[in-house]
Structure 1
Amino acid sequence: MSQHDDKRRKLLGRLNRQLAYTAPLLALVAGGAVLQASAAGDALVADVSSPPGSALMLASNHAEGAAEAQAEAQGEAEAGAEAEAQGEAEGEAEGEAEGEGQAEAEGEAEGGASAKVARPEGYSPAYSETGDNPPEMLARGEALYYDTSLSSNGLACASCHGSDGQDMRYNETFQQPFPHQVAMGTNQFGMSEVHADEMVQICMVAPMAAEPLEWGGEALTSLAAYMVEVQKRVAGEPHDL
């Protein structure tokens, strides 16, 4: 390869790598003249012994390559800006959706917790909260009071509140007739006061880690009736136990 061909190859390689030109200037001198290009302040000089047609072809290719590079760079910039704008919009939409979903989930969690232990709409208890419940109902309630199979963790009502009439771990509010305030109902379920059957359901769901009993079922009715008498006993009032 001649020295002139080698210089021309290097020059073409540099020209093809240019992506933007600040002050393009190309001077072509026919018949072995001088080829000069100014790109971003750099001057390139090479002796060219090729005929004028080759120099004109070089200039044409150089101009086309520069135009294509500039168009490609502009297209990439526009595509990048569009992608960034789209990404920001999608991010905002996802953030709003996530915030709304979280708020809905929190609201459902709070409402769902109390719904499990609060009396359902239209519910009418089959026991009396003032007393005078049938002895057989109280007997079933007392048996369930000691029944660990009601829980998922081996606890029974007696595990926390004593057995054989040794009542314990009741707050002062328990001395008031039902419905009254129960700390666990207020703190964990947002209930200002509870009925006897609601208190049973709270103990089933929280300490005993089980599902609530069937509303109106024999188990819940008997336990609630029994707890009415326990409340009277704790308050020092006459009871049927």
Structure 2
Amino acid sequence: MSQHDEQRRKLLGRLNRRLAYTAPLLALVAGGGVLQASAGDDAAMADVTSPSDASLMLASNHTEGAAEAQGEAEGEAQGEAEGEAEGGDSAAVARPEGYSPAYSETGDNPQQMLARGEALYYDTSLSSNGLACANCHGSNGQDMGYNSTFEQPFPHRVAMGAHQFGMSAVHADEMVQICMVVPMAAEPLEWGGEALTSLAAYVVEVQKRVAGEPHDL
């Protein structure tokens, strides 16, 4: 290998490590075949003068970036799986001792309460990540994202409650709290507060709708 080829190989290797998708746009100057990069690399790039060198470099960067992205995705998926296996603190989402809900889990809740619950169902300000209940569970009566167990009256089994908090069955207000803490990445709502009470009452009616039963929505 000639000295020039060796120098070029080392240069390309160094640039492959430094240039990624967050680097400034790379461009070939028409006719001259000169590759331009970010400030600080100009002197080193002087020896890279052919389009074939540029193509090699861009292909290498693409491969490296794709591998990094795949690794990050696999890491996130593994982390989520481990989080489910480890579980969470059920005290954050389970009814506290002595708590008595201000809504009825069999229905017949006031229409004003249901209207407030419906408004909160679409309220993204409840979360820390821009989600609302409707993002996961549908809107305008187009219910989605519920397991078959949701067709059973409350309390019933909820997958997130079982997998992440060890709860064999949950009430409607506990389901709301689970959704607040996990997918919506927020703090639990105040137990007995208007927001939790209204949302839970609304979820009771959604459960009836999903089950094909008469409801007040």
Same fold (TM over 0.5): yes
Q: Does 1 or 2 have the higher relative contact order (CA < 8 Å, sep 6+)?
A: 2
Match of residue 206, structure 2, among 230, 234, 237: 230
Match of residue 148, structure 1, among 104, 112, 124: 124
What is the alpha-carbon root mean square deviation over aligned residues? 1.1
The one-letter code matched in structure 1 to 2:136 is C
Higher alpha-carbon Rg: 1
Match of residue 214, structure 1, among 190, 194, 201: 190
Q: What TM-score, normalized by structure 1, do the two folds share? A: 0.54
Cross-structure match for 2:27:
none
Cross-structure match for 1:190:
166
Rounded to whole Å, the distance in 2 between the matches of 1:113 and 1:136 is 33
TM-aligned CA deviation for residue 240 of structure 1: 0.1
TM-aligned CA deviation for residue 141 of structure 1: 0.0
> What's the % identity of the aligned pairs?
87
Cross-structure match for 1:120:
96
For residues 200-240 of structure 1, give each alpha carbon's deviation from its aligned partner in whole angstroms, at most 9, with x where no partner exists: 00000000000000000000000000000000000000000
What SS does structure 2 have at the residue aligned with 1:238? coil
TM-aligned CA deviation for residue 158 of structure 1: 0.2
Rounded to whole Å, the distance in 2 between the matches of 1:119 and 1:187 is 18
Q: What TM-score, normalized by structure 2, do the two folds share? A: 0.60
TM-aligned CA deviation for residue 119 of structure 1: 0.1
Unaligned regions of 5+ residues in structure 2, if any? 1-85
Unaligned regions of 5+ residues in structure 1, if any? 1-108
Matched, 1:164 2:124: no
For residues 58-115 of structure 1, give each alpha carbon's deviation from its aligned partner in whole angstroms, at most 9, with x where no partner exists: xxxxxxxxxxxxxxxxxxxxxxxxxxxxxxxxxxxxxxxxxxxxxxxxxxx96x7100
What SS does structure 2 have at the residue aligned with 1:199? helix
Q: What is the correspondence of 1:53-72 to structure 2 with a 5 Å cutoff?
A: none
